[in-house]
Amino acid sequence: MIKSFWGLVSKVAEWFCVLGFAALFIIFVLQVFFRYVLDNPLSWTQEVAGILYVWIVCVGAATIVKEREHVAFNLIYESVSPKMRRILALAGTGLILVVLVLTLYGNYDYIAFTARQKSPTLRLPMTVVFGAFGVFLILLIVNSAIRIARLMRGDWDREL
């Protein structure tokens, strides 16, 4: 049940990141084409590319990138026994979960506040940008909670 739920989230995130990345690239090619070939630069391309960039990173970092694929210092983690690794993984994931939950309201507050700011060229509410960070935090909280649940179970060694 939990597994199929996260499987679905990951699948949606994969589609989002792949299509988003394709759009980011196409928009950038358009920018170069309009500026250098048509000599008529588009005003909106850079901002839309920036928004897509933030969303791909925020959604991707918590979903399509596996825990152990991230940039990390692995020397200690990989030199200890699986039992010790389980403890380290629980401590690290627990830290992420606790701190993020504690800051959830503060972040909500800030992201709601950014609705009053406007983006430089398109005059969109900046929530369009910062909302991605909220999604990142929620995805990371859910991901961490699921990871902890798995580490607590009998087949915890599959989660290391």
Residues that bind another protein (CB under 8 A): 14, 17-18, 20-22, 24-25, 28-29, 31-32, 36, 46, 49-51, 53-54, 56-58, 60-61, 64-65, 67, 69-77, 88-89, 91-93, 95-96, 99-100, 102-103, 105-107, 109-111, 113, 129-130, 132-133, 140
Closest CA to 157 of 95, 99, 83, 100: 83
Residue number, 5 or 69, with CB nearest to another protein:
69
Closest CA to 9 of 159, 138, 158: 138
Nearest approach in angstroms of CB 3 to another protein is 21
Nearest approach in angstroms of CB 136 to another protein is 8
Q: CA 16, 150, 80: angle at the middle one, nearest 5?
A: 105
Structure tokens at 153: 């179970």
Residue number, 5 or 113, with CB nearest to another protein:
113
Query: Which 8-state DSSP code applies to residue 155?
Result: T
Residue number, 2 or 88, with CB nearest to another protein:
88
Q: Distance between CA 148 and CA 156 in Å, rounded?
A: 9
Residue number, 1 or 71, with CB nearest to another protein:
71
Contact 127, 57 (CB under 8 A): no
